[in-house]
Amino acid sequence: MAHLFPTDNWLALTQHMARAGQRRLLLLAGDNAWSESQAAHLQHCLPGDWLWVSDKANQAQACTPRNARALLGREFHHAVFDARLGFDAEAFAILAGTLRAGSWLVMMTPPFADWPNRPDCDSLRWNDQQQPTASPQFVARFLAALQSQSAEMLVWQQGKAPAFPAQFPQACWHPVQGEPLQEQAAIRDELLAMASGIAVVTAGRGRGKSALAGMLIRAWNGTVLVTAPARVATDVMAEHAHKPLAFIAPDALLEQMHSGKTPHADWLVVDEAAAIPLPQLAAMIDGFSRVLLISTVQGYEGTGQGFILKLCSQLPVSRRYVLNTPVRWAPDCPLELFVSSLLLFDESGTGTTPVSGEMLPAPAFGTVLPGELTDVYRLLSSAHYRTSPLDLRRLLDAPGQHVVAAKIGGKPIAAAWLVTEGGLTQKLSEAVWAGFRRPRGNLVAQSLAAHGGSPRAAMLTGWRVSRIAVYPGAQRKGVGQALIAEVKRQAPAGCDYLSVSFGYTQALWRFWERCGFRLVRMGTSLEASSGCYTAMALLPLTQEGEALAANEARHLSRNLSCLQPWLPFPLPGEPDTGRNLLPGDWRELAGFAWGYRPLMSCLASLVRVLAICPLELPALRGELQSRQPTAVLCGNLGLAGRKALLSRQRLEAGQILVWHDENQAHTLKAWLAQLQFFD
C-alpha cells in the first residue's frame, strides 16, 4: 500500500508550517483499514502528541467526542479526528482550538460518494429520530468549504493520487515568548488603573484572553477571586499568574453571597462568563467593586455576539475590550479559517441592521430555503447566546424545521425558527402524562401533557417557535409581531397552534402576549441555561387548538394561588381562589401515586387535598406545607435521600386516594396500570 507522501516532503511541509505559524487539515476519505493505515503512517513519521478523538480509538492518547470538553485549556501537537461513524461538530471545533502552530488535524471520513447518505450517529444528539439519520446538507456544506480552500487543505481519497501543494508556506511567524502582546499589555494596564466597574474581554479561540487575566492577577498587589464553570478552564490563567489562584465555583460563590458571607476581594474574575446564566452572573457581580468577565465568542462554547448584546443591555458594563491577534498560531491560519467558515463562527455583520434611519421600509416575508440559511443562522445565533454547532446541524438536516424571515433589500432583518411538534397517539400522549414515556423531541407538546391538565394534550400538532431574532436596529418597530403574524399565516393545514417556551421575564411575556399567545404553564424551578423560570404559551390556530389553549390557561389560572409561593415574582393573571377538588385533581393525584408524574406537576392538587385530608402524611406535608429542606426532612423521617423521600410521598398520595374513595382509587390505579403497556 502506497504511503501518503514521501517522508522528506512531509517533514519539510510540516517544518514550513511551524515557521509560518500555520495549522492545516488533512482529510482521509476511504474505507476503515485504508484510513487507519495512512493515519498510523503519519503518526510514525511525525513526532508529536497525536491525540485521537474517536469512539473506537486504541491509542495512548485518546478521547471520545462526548468528552471533548475535557480538552479545554490544553494544547497538542498533531491530532486525529474520526468522523467515519458520525461528525460531532463541537468536538471537531474544540480539537482544532487545542492545536498549536505546525500541527496537522488529520480527519478520517467515509468515501465521499457514500458520506452524504450514510447514517450519522451524532444525529441522535440533535435529531428527534429513534435511529441515526443521514446529514446530506451538512456534508454538502463541509465539502463546499473544503473546495473553497482547496489550495490550503490537503485531501486524499482512496484510489486517487493525493494533491500535494506546489509551494510551501514562506511567511515567518514569531511565537509569543512569555511577554504580553501589545494589545494584551494595553488592556492589562487599563484594568490595573480601573477604580471600579465591570470590564468585559472577549476573543476568539487562541487569542490569549485567559493569559491576559493571569497577567492582571500577577501584576495586582491585592486580592483576586476567580470563578468559572469548570476549574480546568483556568489552568492557562494560573500559568500566567505565576501563583495559585483563589478559585471558587459559581454555585458556591452564590451560596456564600446569599448567606451574607460574600468573600472579600479587590477583583472578581469570571472565566467563560457566557456559560453562566445572566441572572446568576448579575448576582455575582453585585458583590464586588471590580469585575472582569472574559469569554470566548465565535466559538464552540455556544457563545457569540448575542452574549455581548444581552450582557451590555442587562448589566452596567463600563469597559469592553476585544482581543484580535492570535497567540498560538498566526493570523489567517488555514485551519482556523476553515473551521470558522464551516461552522459560521464569523459573525461579521450581526450587530448592524442592513437599513438605516428612523423609518423602516416594509419588509418582505418568506420561507427560507436551505441555500439561504447562512445569514439567517448568524442572525439567530446573535440573539441566542447559547447557540452551538449542534444548532447548525439541527437546522440543516433535522426533519420538521422551518424558517420564516423578514427581509429588506434581500437581507434578513428578522427570522423565526420553527419546529413541528405533537401528533402523538392517544395512548402515547396519556403515557407521557403519567410519566411512563418520554419520546424524543416535542418539547412543548410533551410538557403540556406531562405537566398540564390534559392527558391528550400531545395529540394535537403545533409549530414551536424555537428561536426568534430581530436585528438591533430594527427592534421596537413591530417587526417581531409582524413576523409572528406571518408565521401564523404560513402555518400548514392541520397545525393546531403555535407554541413557545421561554425563560420568563415580564418584558418577554409582554411581547408574546401582544402577539396573541396565552400563558399555559409556569415552571417552579430555575432553568439551567437561562437562569429563569420556564414559561410556555400557546396561540391557537384551529378549534381543537382553541380548546386546548383554553383548557390549559384555565388549569394554570386555577393553580396560580398554589404556585405563587414557590416563585419570586408575581404571576400574571387573576388567580382562581376556589379550593374545591375536581375530577382532574384526583386523576392527577393518581398519576403521582401510581405513575411517575413529578411532584411539582401535581403541586396544586396536593395543596388542595392536604387542606382537607385528616391523615398525617409527614412526607408530603413536610415538603409542601412546612417547606422543610430535603436533607432535614429525610433526616426526620429516617430516609436515605431524595429518591426515598419521593417514594414515600407517592405512597402517601395513594393513601389519600383510598381515604377519599376506595372504589375510585382502584379504578384510577387500574387505568394507570394499562397506560404502561401499548403497541
pLDDT at 420: 96
Q: Is the CATH number 3.40.50.300 carried by domain 182-323?
A: yes
CB 512 within 8 A of CB 518: no
Alpha carbon 98 to its chain centroid, in Å, reads 21
Portions of the chain given CATH number 3.40.50.11040? 7-157
DSSP labels, 256-272: HHHTT-PPP-SEEEEET
pLDDT at 317: 81
pLDDT at 384: 66
**What's the CA gap between 340 and 334, in Å, rounded?**
10
Predicted structure pTM score: 0.86
Q: Picking from 41-45, 295-299, 565-569, which range would have the lowest pLDDT averaged per residue?
A: 295-299
- Residue holding cell 429520530? 129
Alpha carbon 185 to its chain centroid, in Å, reads 33
Portions of the chain given CATH number 3.40.630.30? 364-566
CB 488 within 8 A of CB 498: yes
Once rounded to an integer, what is the mean pLDDT over residues 409-418? 91
Helix, strand, coil shares, percent, the chain, to 5: 45, 20, 40
CATH of 364-566, one of 3.90.25.10, 3.40.50.1700, 3.30.420.40, 3.40.630.30: 3.40.630.30
**What's the CA gap between 628 and 625, in Å, rounded?**
8
Grid cell in block for residue 155: 485531501
pLDDT range class, residue 124, cuts 50, 70, 90: very high
What top-level class would CATH report for the domain 7-157?
alpha beta
DSSP labels, 449-498: HHHSS-TTGGGSEEEEEEEEEE-GGGTTTTHHHHHHHHHHHHPPTT--EE
CB 499 within 8 A of CB 419: no
Instruction: State yes or no: pLDDT of 234 exceeds 90.
Output: no
Contacts of 218 (CB under 8 A, 6+ apart): 240, 241, 242, 243
Phi-psi region of 231 (alpha: psi -120 to 50; beta: other; left: phi over 0): alpha
pLDDT at 1: 45
Portions of the chain given CATH number 3.40.50.300? 182-323
Alpha carbon 317 to its chain centroid, in Å, reads 24
pLDDT in tens, 474-531: 888 999 999 999 999 999 999 999 999 998 989 999 999 999 999 999 999 877 666 6
pLDDT in tens, 160-215: 877 766 666 777 888 877 778 889 999 999 999 999 999 999 888 888 899 999 99
Alpha carbon 380 to its chain centroid, in Å, reads 13
CATH architecture for the domain at 583-674: Up-down Bundle (1.20)
The amino acid sitting at 267 is: W
C-beta atoms surrounding 549 within 10 Å: 24
